[in-house]
Amino acid sequence: MIRSAFFRAAVALSASAALAVSIAPAAATANAAPVVPQAAAQSAPSPQPAGCPEFVVLAARGSDQNEEYGEYFGPQQYSPHAAPSNGYEGANLSALFHLVEKRHPGTMDRVHVLALDPQAYPASMNLPPLAQEGEQLNPLQLIRRLGGVVMEYPLHELAYSVTVGFVHSLRTGMANAPRVVEKYERETGCQPRYITAGYSQGAIVATSAERYLAQRGKLAGAVYLGNPLSRPHGMAGWLPQHLLLQPAALPDSRRLNYCLDGDFVCDLNLASAHDALATKAARHASYFVEPSLGDAAFADSLATLLTPSSAGTIITTHD
């Protein structure tokens, strides 16, 4: 369930600032090591058990895409020849992966979607709704609804609790993403290449895992929808670059960012903020669950990224 865009915009900006301050020392350390591409052929791959995927997509869902909000739809089977996901990739990323397989049959045969579950990453925002599902409020209705919410939830208390919850959710996901990877490899014996994938809040969490995977020589690409870190118009785009955890230095062809025009999370302006408030952030919620003109091209780009011949160069770091 997508929550109030007005509160999401105001609170997510303050949460981004709080997060930047809280992780700035870690960011300075993590960003010190340069990231450069190296040929995967430089070292022979370790033997792996039969059935291991070529790629693992490390996926982080968006804010409040959780069971208690009716946003969990169970494990997803993207190919009859691949293991199902745990279902915690969320509806938008899931719809993207299904579209990839529909347009390029067999692509997902060699892919496993490893999504961060609620224990690893809460995906919390906990915002009260203004518009209801399917509503489009006029300005007077917006003012009345907003007044009712502020009466029920004092704005300063709401902003504080959501900011703290948002930062906790992000930091939990950032800390646990490497552990999820290590647990998967320990239990399966597989040593795949990884593509980070995130939607909305999850794009921040997935971005934080890039350098960890690059340092292990396993990062093959990154895929983000509605990314608040998008510059210059993302929600966190106003923050100085050095205050944020830096992504790995992927070639442009291996970093896919999809921002729909008018999505206030990655294309923030007065018009998109007003539209989000009036429509319960319908534009932000629509990635791949409602058709958009750019969907097919983006799915095709991801299919190319998931082609083994396209991943001959992996990203790694030098100490």
Kindly report the average pLDDT of the chain as a whole number: 77
Q: How far is CA 11 from the centre of its chain?
A: 18
The answer as to whether 68 is a domain residue is: yes
Residue-level pLDDT at 169: 87
Sign of CA dihedral 153, 120, 32, 207: negative
Give backbone dihedrals phi and psi of 137, rounded to 5 degrees, phi first: -85, 145
Q: Judging by DSSP bridges, how do beta strands 111-115 and 193-199 pair with one another?
A: unpaired
The answer as to whether 105 is a domain residue is: yes
Report CA-CA distances (Å) from 91 to 62, 144, 181, 265, 290. 9, 31, 22, 17, 11
232 preceded by a cis bond (ω within 30 of 0): yes
CA distance 101 to 215: 30
Number of H helices, E strands in the chain: 9, 7
The answer as to whether 226 is a domain residue is: yes
Name the token pair of 239: 């923050």
The CATH number assigned to the domain holding 252 equals: 3.40.50.1820
Has residue 14 got a pLDDT over 70? no
Has residue 43 got a pLDDT over 70? no
Number of structural domains (the chain) is: 1
The answer as to whether 318 is a domain residue is: no
On the CB side of 45, CA atoms within 13 Å amount to 16
CA distance 62 to 54: 26
Q: Using alpha carbons only, what angle is made at residue 293 by residues 99 and 272, rounded to the nearest 5 degrees?
A: 115
Residue-level pLDDT at 100: 98
The answer as to whether 317 is a domain residue is: no
- 208-265 pLDDT, tens digit per residue, is 999 999 999 999 999 999 998 887 787 776 666 666 667 887 888 899 999 999 998 8
The answer as to whether 264 is a domain residue is: yes
Where in the sequence is the domain holding 117, given as residue range(s)?
Answer: 5-38+52-310
Residue-level pLDDT at 238: 65
Token look-up 């409020």 returns 137
Q: Using alpha carbons only, what angle is made at residue 188 by residues 246 and 211, rounded to the nearest 5 degrees?
A: 10
The answer as to whether 44 is a domain residue is: no
- The average pLDDT across 115-138 equals 70
- The average pLDDT across 296-316 equals 79
The answer as to whether 248 is a domain residue is: yes
Q: Does residue 204 contact residue 231 with C-beta atoms inside 8 Å?
A: no
